[in-house]
């Protein structure tokens, strides 16, 4: 019961944080937005590679 209560508290805190920062304060131009999009793709690719490596390590062991 206590764990459930703590979990609910955590979820509500995270929701509050998301609401608090919902509107980014930095007004960005087109160039910056494109850079951030590229960064997002770059990170997704790198994280994807990380998963591939993880499964390859699992397979080899």
Which residues of this chain interact with another protein, rule CB under 8 A?
Answer: 13, 17-18, 20-28, 32, 35-36, 39, 42-43, 46-47, 49-50, 52-53, 57
Spatial distance between the Cα atoms of 18 and 12, rounded to a whole number of angstroms: 10
Least distance from another protein to the Cβ atom of residue 50, Å: 6
Least distance from another protein to the Cβ atom of residue 18, Å: 5
Spatial distance between the Cα atoms of 37 and 33, rounded to a whole number of angstroms: 6
Burial 14-35 (b: 16+ CB within 10 A, else e): eeeeeeeeeeeeeeeeeeeeee
Least distance from another protein to the Cβ atom of residue 46, Å: 5
Question: Residue 1 or residue 21: which is nearer to another protein going by CB?
Answer: 21
């Amino acid at each position: 019961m206590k764990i459930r209560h703590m979990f609910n508290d955590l979820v509500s805190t995270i929701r509050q944080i998301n609401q608090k920062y919902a509107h980014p304060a930095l007004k960005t131009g087109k160039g910056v937005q494109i850079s951030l999009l590229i960064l997002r793709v770059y990170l997704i690719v790198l994280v994807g590679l990380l998963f591939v490596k993880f499964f390859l390590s699992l397979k080899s062991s």
